[in-house]
Structure 1
């Protein structure tokens, strides 16, 4: 199973995520987020991951071509994650422009929201299912809230599960649905935007425990 630790911002936490078993590391390029990193700093962090053959994901929110150009030049990501309101035509446009795989985040609350899958399944290389942002939140993701994972039980394909995952509940999530990947961010922090190495290690320990069970 793929595991992406998202919103990393220091060399130490990148190294801990890799040593713990991350397949992907995500860097957030969204100024409203406490996890936002500039392209130059992200480039230094991305190199540490690439040296270990770990996939680098650039996470953006309704980014224009100018911003994407700067991100790609700085970190040469393996994948772009679009976490805003990007429509299918925009995904096609981005894939044509950059030649990179795209993962599209879809915000879910109930089973009715699954209808959005059909809109994106044929254009995005992977889908990521996240919880809808709480009212008043400026962030489309990384809010530390989850949703009813059981609505994904019959969803086919190779998708990531996100939204409120933590060392305490990831085992339950894996019992309920069968994701191809897990994406985690805020639950591994000691403060907004500050990843806790011990929480990162605990998350992977919980995954191993769930898989063994």
Structure 2
């Protein structure tokens, strides 16, 4: 088993290129308004160009109007959409691309109850540490023992860093881990050493399941 790794909230092309060199599987570009990692479409184009084939480009939204999502899809050609707001299944699937739906786990598994029934078109679920109605990407860990069986690939997020991601992989065995603030020196500014150490800890944890 190999745990996939997604680095999210990148704002500089150089950080994208380094992440790719280190072996990341997916790059998340944020278009949810109001945060330090939110990208203008023109600036996002330079980051998208730095993502090579075979590395998944993910566009992240939170209650954006459909016209904004359509503009990102048309301009950047992401491989996967990620929705963190109150979007329903029909909205999420309406752009002709696979999507992952984020579920708020900060007050227990309430958002995850019947998630597969509410989002039958979802390709994956992102379990994040924020409370319902709050934005993600704030580095908040939740109780990993609450991870439910969802019948879809799970991306584990929320408060991950090199210090705890090995434990997370060993305990939850998610399809992927998703990190943003845990590899930063400042909001939106990724740190090369933290990125490398994060990947090393995931691979070390994976080696426990080898053979």
Q: What is the RMSD of the two structures over their aligned residues, measured on CA atoms? A: 1.9
CA distance in 1, matches of 2:118, 2:153: 13
The correspondence for 1:99, drawn from 96, 99, 103, is 96
Distance 2:186 2:134 in 1: 16
CA distance in 1: counterparts of 2:70 and 2:21, whole angstroms: 30
**Mean Cα deviation higher: 118-127 or 183-192:** 118-127
Mark the runs of 5 or more structure 2 residues left unpaired by the alignment: none
| Corresponding residue of 1:80 | 81
Q: Is the 8 A contact 2:104 2:128 kept in 1?
A: yes
Residue deviations 1:104-137 (CA, integer Å, cap 9, x gap): 1010132444314234341211111111249xxx
Gapped regions of structure 1 (runs ≥ 5):
none
CA positional deviation for 1:39:
1.1
User: Taking structure 1 as reference, are residues 180 and 198 closer, same or farther at Cα in structure 2, changes over 3 Å only?
Assistant: same
Change (3 A) 1:107 1:170: same
Is the counterpart of residue 20 in structure 1 residue 2 in structure 2? Answer: no
TM-score w.r.t. the length of structure 2 is 0.89
- Aligned partners of 1:79 and 1:85: how far apart in 2? 18
Contact 1:32–1:139 (Cα < 8 Å) also in 2:
no
Per-residue CA deviation, residues 16-40 of structure 1 (Å, 9 max, x unaligned), is 1111111110000123111011111
Q: Which has the higher helix share?
A: 1
Q: Which residue of 2 aligns with 1:53?
A: 54
Give the secondary structure class of the aligned counterpart of 1:71: helix
Q: Structure 1 length normalisation: TM-score? A: 0.89
User: Using the alignment, how far apart are the partners of 2:55 and 2:30 within structure 1?
Assistant: 17
Equivalent in the alignment of 1:120: 118
Q: Which moved more, 1:168-177 or 1:151-160?
A: 151-160
Greater shift, 60-69 or 165-174, is seen at: 60-69
1:68 aligns with 2:69: yes
Distance in 2 (alpha carbons) for counterparts of 1:65 and 1:157: 25
Task: State the partner residue of 1:170.
Answer: 165
